[in-house]
Structure 1
Amino acid sequence: MNRKVGLFFGTFNPIHTGHLIIANHMAEFSDLDEVWLVVTPHNPHKKKSSLLDNNHRLEMVYKACENYHKLKPSNIEFGLSQPNYTVNTLAHLQEKFPTNDFCLIMGEDNLKSFHKWKNHEVILENHEIYVYPRISSGEVKSELTDNPKITKINAPIVEISSTFIRNAIKEGKNIRPLLDREVWKFIDLMNFYKK
């Protein structure tokens, strides 16, 4: 039987306890066998100085996932041409790992704009989507609310943002409870986000 793998995409700049709570909840309280945290690479066409180098962000995801055997870091998008679209990543993964069934994990806020994604119909035709709740406004398109391929998971609502963490570090605040211990040590050692 195929393994069911949930894909949790993010820049993880940095990865924080909110990401881990959601990813672990999906791995433990749904029918997913594993959750891969897919680090989104820096888009060379965008100037984004606040985004750390791809490998530094991947390193933080590795450190954060170390004690969770169902969570795996993934750099699969690093080798794909940019700008990249989720539909291409899914096709690439399915070809590379034919015995896995890949599912998308997304917040309710992303589901609201899902109909604007490139080839979203193709994604929905070939992959399930697992949705976790967010505090947000706006309506989900009606054809997505009752779609059998979309499963809502009653995960904890976590509203921690990487932007908040980066700004807090810059201001010299202690935000250690919001980060995995090893991730915090790495950020501190490397002097990330301090200026």
Structure 2
Amino acid sequence: MKIGILGGSFNPIHNGHIYMAEMAKKKCDLDVVFIVPAGHSPNKDERKMLTGLNRSTMCKFAVECINGVETSDVEVLSDSKSYTYITIKKFHEKYNNDELYFIMGADSIDYFEEWKNPDIIAKYANIIVINRGEYTDEYIEQKVEYLNSIFPVNVLKVDCPKIDISSTAIRELFMNKKYDEAKKYLNDKVFEYIIDKDLY
């Protein structure tokens, strides 16, 4: 089985995230993609984030009707920092007879060598790079060549249109009470959950 893994804060999860997952699944012929909301992010101020339970619940609402896309709480249920290399190792232990594919945006591959133990991520998973027009093919090829000079890495590139929205922008829309505009970028149940819980 070919398993995709898409991690992130998902604060909140929006249609751009889902589109990334679906494009990776389709273009790389994956059997399933797991959306993995971060538990204790090493790179973000948790005081500005919703609880893992709230973000996980929104992820589950967002994918419940999408065939082949699921949610994993492997990071949310962990007490330790949510480093990707640890998550990948956990997936490898659970699915040791399957192929893993870690999905990231092209902006992340640009500094992948600076991540915590990127060689371990590349050891256990292929890397799917979603390029939304930020970088030329030549630049990505040069970047992959550079990474391979440091540690072995197998990169698959997927081109897809950029959806011009971010979780930060969506939070701002809610804080400014622009609900109709925010709703356009969210699954209906995710939108209703945010309104009911007054999350932002």
- Name the TM-score, length of structure 1 as normaliser: 0.88
Contact 2:5 2:33 (C-alpha < 8 Å) held by counterparts:
yes
Gaps of 5+ in 1: none
In 2, distance between residues paired with 1:13 and 1:90? 21
Alignment partner, residue 164 of structure 1: 169
Match of 1:178 in 2: 185
- Taking the aligned partners of 2:42 and 2:104, their CA distance within structure 1 comes to 24
Per-residue CA distance 1:90-113 (angstroms, 9 max, x = gap): 111111222322111000000001
Residue 116 of structure 1 corresponds to which residue in structure 2? 114
1:104 to 78, 102, 105: 102
The CA distance in 2 between the partners of 1:121 and 1:47, in whole Å, is 26
Q: Kindly state the Cα deviation for residue 141 of structure 1 after the two structures are TM-superposed.
A: 8.1
Q: % of aligned pairs identical?
A: 30
- Quick one: structure 1 residues 136 and 90, their matched pair in 2 at CA, closer, same or farther if it must change by over 3 Å? same
* In 2, Cα distance between equivalents of 1:31 and 1:14: 27
Deviation string 1:72-122 (CA, Å, 9 cap, x unpaired) is 011111243422321111111111222322111000000001011122123
8 Å contact kept, 2:53–2:76: no
Q: Which residue of 1 aligns with 2:3?
A: 5
> In the comparison of the two structures, how many residue pairs are matched?
191
State which drifts further: 173-182 or 135-144: 135-144
Q: Give the whole-Å Cα distance in 2 for the aligned partners of 1:153 and 1:161.
A: 20
* Residue 72 (structure 2) aligns with: 74
Q: Give, in angstroms, the shift of residue 25 of structure 1.
A: 1.5
CA distance in 1, matches of 2:110, 2:32: 25
Distance in 2 (CA, whole Å) between partners of 1:84 and 1:191 is 26
Could you tell me how far apart the structure 1 residues matched to 2:105 and 2:128 are? Answer: 8
Change (3 A) 1:81 1:121: same
Whether the 8 Å contact between 1:39 and 1:74 is mirrored in structure 2 is yes
Deviations 1:23-67 (A, max 9, x none): 111122322111100010134996433211101110000000011
Q: Of the candidates 14, 17, 24, which is equivalent to residue 26 of structure 1?
A: 24
Long gaps (5+) in structure 2: none
Cα separation, partners in 2 of 1:143 and 1:133, compared to 1, 3 Å: closer
Output aligned runs, 1:134-173, within 5 Å.
134-136=132-134, 140=140, 142=142, 144-145=144-145, 149-173=154-178
TM-score of the superposed pair, with normalisation by structure 2: 0.86
Shift of 1:135: 4.9
How much is the aligned-residue C-alpha RMSD, in angstroms? Answer: 2.4
Q: SS of the residue aligned with 1:153?
A: strand
Q: Which of 123, 126, 132 in structure 1 is aligned with 2:124?
A: 126
